[in-house]
Chains A and B, each alone.
Chain A
């Protein structure tokens, strides 16, 4: 077949990139080789637009065992225990085929974690839909939620936390980010780096079908009105087979048979074989006629580009083939030696003993294109909003608007569809600031949370990037965990647009500054560009997944009030920042202005002291103050506890809306037993922490002195109203 311009374009390759391929091969590629290049050089696999920025992120720390670059990040949680985790996007497939797109997103991220020798112990997700009134939203929401549940429930790993958000920016391009967390022995971590020549390369798992061909290239382009036609590029998931694959891999990992192992994710057999060889500075030879196929007459091209799910590539130690085969047969899985490592530094593809493709590994992996794309800085928006000029409202009405809005309403209709308890180590489920998962048969536990703030990031990406790391950090602190490390999923629009590229570069800069200051390194992550349809880009949406450690779990700390007459303390200064707030958005549809300022020093100091108070058992309940401000935080602490609160008006005279709805950062609300208050105040004063005693808990009513009084039941009903009528 002659490689025409159309074929090149259909493979998502630019003309210059094609010329580069000719130069590397010193000849024209055949169609199979062109396919392999396109699979490795697309944005999704090569990180060509993001690489130079990602390099700036802090990835080291004494808790880090493995940073970015492997299947997942690995951190040390003491003793013999390590936590393996990563987040990944499956946005494009989920928009085209929501159930399978979301399900295979979960399947893919689970494989990244158990490939490293970890048993997955928790799943999280961050899902973003368009406006609830958009005609597609309802079916996308249903499909995605049942897809996430369908996969996680079947494989038997609890889905413990997440966020479900709505914003018209995602009308034509939803976001589905899935995070998996696993537990491994520190001494038994498996990597993808190949070692040694003439070692058996083994294919295990499901058979290869024609599904998902060019999935990674599809995820590296914008959508247009014909996106529906891309359905065949979406993979089909089978959680049952994945469960078998998980158990079989973990069984084989008990001894010393495996040299290296890599899951077949995006760009399937191509990227797994190339990555293993590239990391080991070796060559790899595959005999494609040996690949187990689901369909007849599959061509080498289709085999190399298929993204069929539930498959792994393993390089075995000499003489371990029969032992390994026995295990995979026990679990009724395919097991075939399909190739070997070589010293040629080439990817050599054979089909019935004939070489059908040969490409230098370096050209595909470490020497793939890297672009320093043009980008521009964004200034902090200067348009000030004068709230005195807005139509009058009152605290109660404004709060009702927020609590009944799609973004703040009760989400149990989502979480009830996920098995959150299987494995019997979920000490705290979703609905709190962070979920808590106990390490099996031990006293210690990890806390996990995923967060995003697209509105803040759109308004000022640098601040937004910082803010979201801080919010994630606060969420872990609020359940009494010491934050250890993060994974990030960077969802952005078209990087060829310099404004979008600027959003990316500056969000990364913000994430970097916050992570460095808080000593909260990035150990894994994923970039998803080209989120948009017909040149309309989504808001920049970096999603942060954080993991923290609770050394000794005695009683999980949540944000529900515990008893009457406790003293309520607000940690951190309230300036009354209303721009970009939920208050303005839900009450006046105003989404202008700048995000709240982030003061990293306050963030760190406040967090450390709150953690100290929690560790001394002085805190009955804790909640970080975020979207919706102080009053929303307090109402959330009330709704699930059946205990209300009476809050005094601020002593210094100021605008009540600014005080109660302002979204200033670094703040926490703590419930303190009066008998401990003197000690608590002393610790706060010694730590130079700004705090206010703002009221106390009471039965039956949610009350702001002289301003509003609502029954808890009313709050509960308002919070549950939206979905029941959706």
Chain B
């Protein structure tokens, strides 16, 4: 399986995601933002970081860059696309995913391990997880407070497009277990066709027991299926 990781000036989780993909036997390529064409890929990843310094608004400038036009084309023709953290913010800026990511409710950067629940395990990104499986993943962001319109929220629920929700260790979705104020504890969503996933937690940080745990492994192995 071929993957491409898009590197913007200011991306800083690019090496981490590349290592995770290679560990999972993806044939990965790094694509610099000034390139105008994409190598043939089955999966495109937009990594975390502070693309263009997050100036103007997180993900806003990256969302208008040349390579992103190519990413949009590829995604619209069905290529799998994963946006993690700043990558999720960029995807909402491009309109590939609806909604927006506001500043965390406590107005502070948050880095810690949180629990999330797999709401839909019938997608190309999640088929190796159990339904309602509870995962422990690391979050590291300033703007992870997902917000969207009532109509879109209904649509997300109706079509089973909510990928993950923040929860406690027992799997209960509560206010206390919501780290950043996201609407209905949403931690990640799909587009209608479920070929695009945007998520705030970092699965690439959860593929090595020495460092954390291996709760992110099945996301990548689902994609290999």
Contact = CB atoms under 8 A, between A and B. Distances in A.
Contacts of B111: 153, 415-421
Contact of A332 (B9, B55, B108, B204): B9
Contacts of B212: 421
Interface stretch (B46-54, B62-70, B124-132, B185-193): B46-54
Size class of the contact patch on chain B: 20 to 34
B109 A553 contact: no
A600 interface: no
A153, A241, A418, A421: most-surrounded residue (chain B CB, <10 A): A421
A624 interface: no
B52 A240 contact: yes
A154 B50 contact: yes
A210 interface: no
Given A146-B108, A423-B15, A240 B140 contact: no
Interface residues of A, number: 34
B210 interface: yes
Contact of B211 (A416, A418, A419, A425): A425
Given A154-B54, A421-B138, A421-B212, A146 B16 contact: no
Given A154-B10, A243-B10, A556-B210, A419 B109 contact: yes
Contact of B109 (A149, A156, A425): A149
A438 interface: yes
B160 interface: no
Given A154-B53, A238-B53, A417-B110, A424 B12 contact: no
B82 to A, nearest CB: 17
Q: Which of A240, A412, A420 has most chain B Cβ within 10 Å?
A: A240
Contacts of B49: 156
A426 interface: yes
Contacts of A240: 9-10, 50, 52-55
A421 B208 CA distance: 12
B19 interface: yes
Contacts of A417: 108-111
Contact of A423 (B10, B16, B108, B210): B16
B13 interface: yes
B208 A239 contact: no
B13 A156 contact: yes
Interface string B3-16: 00000011011011
A327 B18 CA distance: 22
Contacts of B19: 424
A277 interface: no
Contacts, number: 85
Nearest to B16: A424
Interface in A44-59: none
A215 B212 CA distance: 42
A18 interface: no
Interface in B188-225: 202, 204-205, 208, 210-212
A480 B75 CA distance: 48
A155 B10 CA distance: 7
Contacts of B204: 424
Contacts of B202: 421
Contacts of B108: 146, 416-417
A400 B184 CA distance: 38
Contacts of A238: 53
B50 A427 contact: no
A422 B12 contact: yes
Nearest to A247: B9
B35 to A, nearest CB: 12
A331 interface: yes
Interface in A412-448: 412, 415-427, 438
A243 B50 CA distance: 10
A258 interface: no
A244 B210 contact: no
Given A419-B140, A438-B211, A153 B55 contact: no
Given A154-B50, A154-B53, A420-B111, A427 B12 contact: no
A238 B9 CA distance: 13
Contact of A243 (B12, B16, B109, B205): B12
A332 B53 CA distance: 13
A142 to B, nearest CB: 9
B157 interface: no
B9 A156 contact: no
Interface of A: 146, 149-150, 153-156, 238-241, 243-244, 330-332, 412, 415-427, 438, 553, 555-556
Report, nearest first, the 8 A-B pairs whose CB atoms are least far apart.
A156-B12, A240-B53, A154-B50, A419-B140, A424-B16, A419-B111, A417-B109, A240-B10
Given A154-B12, A417-B110, 12 more contacts: A146-B109, A153-B109, A154-B10, A155-B12, A156-B12, A156-B50, A416-B108, A417-B109, A421-B140, A421-B205, A421-B211, A555-B210
